[in-house]
Amino acid sequence: MSVGFRAVQWNRDKLIYDAVLLAVVAAFIVSFIAIEAHLHPPKDGPAWIDLRIRAFGLCAFLMLTAILSIGPLARLSPRFLPLLYNRRHFGVLTFVIAALHASFMVEWYAVQNTLPNIVTELTTWTDYGRFIGFPFKALGLGALLILLLLASTSHDYWLQFLSPPVWKALHMLVYGAYGLAVMHVALGAMQSNRHPAIPVLLAASLCLVAGLHLVAGWRERGCHRRRAGADGWIAVGPPDSIPDKCARIVNAPGGERIAVFRDGDRVGAVTNLCAHQNGPLGEGRIIDGCITCPWHGYQYRLDDGCAPPPFTERLATYRVRIARGIVEVDPRALAPGTPAAISISS
Amino acid sequence: MTRTHRRMHRLVWTVLGIAVALGLAMALALRPAPAAPLVSASLPPAPAEARS
């Protein structure tokens, strides 16, 4: 039934993703350093370190912006789903680049024998009461610590240990890291360097992230609303309105979203939440007879919401019926793994 | 994402977005002015149309 079924682990797609990611990051850093060194040749050792600090810092900030843009982009167009597939490795690499940026900063002080100055900067408590002059390194350190926490829990072990809802909530801290990073640059580099590129970059990044979230949220807001009938069942639409091997998503009043799939003449409804990372199943397709999550390829049978053996994940299912030629779904969830799909030809 | 996560997600990024935008605008507005260049006193006066 599901020869293509693979749990999320190292595979060819992930290796390609990581190789491309590493190549792009390396190319960016090398190009930045080469161009800057050509335009403004560093005069001494600390100046070279400063150049590395800027290259890695800019790279980490752009990567953080990209990470926050991938989610809404994937909701706006399936073309961006491949970027989502291995976003966790993207996040871990972002932490590594940010950590290197911080280590070069420590090195910059060390080569000038001024290492205690970092401690002084971070522990001059009166500066924390100022806006301009706020110890911006503390903001960067805060962002780095959040990225460390997220990177160290970016493994399926932690996903299972914490459970998907807790893990997902924890990883929303990335927004906090982004906010700290923006203010780290705004109160740091932007104050000492008046090059217009810095505020333009920060504003563009903020507009991009906020704009994409707004557009994705706005588009999603109205499209899944359905009114329940007198008996509580929700009309989905004629069977043909559900694209073959795809789903229509409906909102259960006060409950979770429901993905109503059609596979030829079979119609079935399951929760829209993948058991792996709560990915949007209804945005996936039926592949090899199984509902396939668009995020990481987890698969479930349409009939009963169970993952094919040897896998054990199960989804809550929902009763469906055809009334006056319209597919309707009962928004009261059945126990995970309960057979509930029907044939529309009978 | 669960319904709770969607709500939390909307709240978190909206509040954070506004706070960061405000912080960025303030950081830009309150940026200390650059030191005036010494040669500025010897610059010729701007044309009349530019001053009006």
For the segment A167-195, what is each residue's pLDDT rounded down to a tens digit?
Answer: 888 988 999 999 999 999 999 999 988 88
Domain of residue B14 covers: 1-28
Nearest chain A residue (CA) to B24: A186
- Interchain contact A131–B (C-beta under 8 A): yes
Torsion angle, alpha carbons of A57, A61, A63, A64, to 10: 140
pLDDT value of residue A3: 43
pLDDT value of residue A77: 84
- Helix orientation angle between A197-223 and B3-29, rounded to the nearest 10 degrees: 150
Torsion angle, alpha carbons of A265, A343, A345, A322, to 10: -110
- Interchain contact A194–B (C-beta under 8 A): yes
Of B4, B26, B34, Cβ closest to residue A131: B26
Of A165, A172, A186, Cβ closest to residue B24: A186
> What is the count of structural domains for chain B?
1
- Interchain contact A191–B (C-beta under 8 A): yes
Spans of all domains in chain A: 12-222, 234-343
Query: What is the SS3 assignment for A217?
Result: helix
Q: Check A210 against B17: CB less than 8 A apart.
A: yes
Chain B residues with CB-CB distance to A132 below 8 A: 27, 30-32
Nearest chain A residue (CA) to B14: A210
Specify the higher pLDDT residue, A51 or B32: A51
Amino acid identity for residue A203 in this structure: A
Residue B39 resides in a domain: no
Residue B11 resides in a domain: yes
pLDDT value of residue A224: 57
Q: Check B12 against A206: CB less than 8 A apart.
A: no
Residue B43 resides in a domain: no
Q: Check B31 against A191: CB less than 8 A apart.
A: yes
Cβ count within 10 A of residue A159: 19
Q: How far apart are CA A26 and CA A22, in angstroms?
A: 6
Residue ranges of E strands in A196-318? 234-237, 246-251, 257-263, 266-271, 285-287, 290-292, 299-301, 317-318
Count Cβ neighbours within 10 Å for each residue of A64-77 and write b for 16 or more, e otherwise: bbbbbbbbbbbbee
Chain B residues with CB-CB distance to A190 below 8 A: 27-28, 31
Of B10, B16, B32, Cβ closest to residue A217: B10
pLDDT value of residue A307: 93
Q: Check A175 against B3: CB less than 8 A apart.
A: no
Residue B6 resides in a domain: yes
Express each pLDDT in A286-319 by its tens digit. 998 899 998 888 899 999 999 998 888 999 999 9
Over its length of 346 residues, how does chain A's per-residue pLDDT go in tens digits? 444 444 456 677 778 888 999 999 999 999 999 999 999 999 999 999 999 999 999 999 999 999 999 988 988 887 887 787 778 889 999 999 999 999 999 999 999 999 999 999 999 999 999 999 999 999 999 999 999 999 999 887 888 888 888 888 898 899 999 999 999 999 999 998 888 999 999 999 999 999 999 898 887 765 556 666 678 899 988 998 899 999 998 887 777 789 999 999 999 999 999 988 888 898 888 998 899 998 888 899 999 999 998 888 999 999 999 988 899 999 999 999 999 888 887 5
The superfamily (CATH) of domain A234-343 is: Rieske [2Fe-2S] iron-sulphur domain (2.102.10.10)
Nearest chain A residue (CA) to B18: A210
- Interchain contact B13–A (C-beta under 8 A): yes
Alpha helices, DSSP H, located in A153-188? 156-162, 164-171, 174-187
Query: What is the SS3 assignment for A71?
Result: helix
Q: Check B19 against A202: CB less than 8 A apart.
A: no
Residue B9 resides in a domain: yes
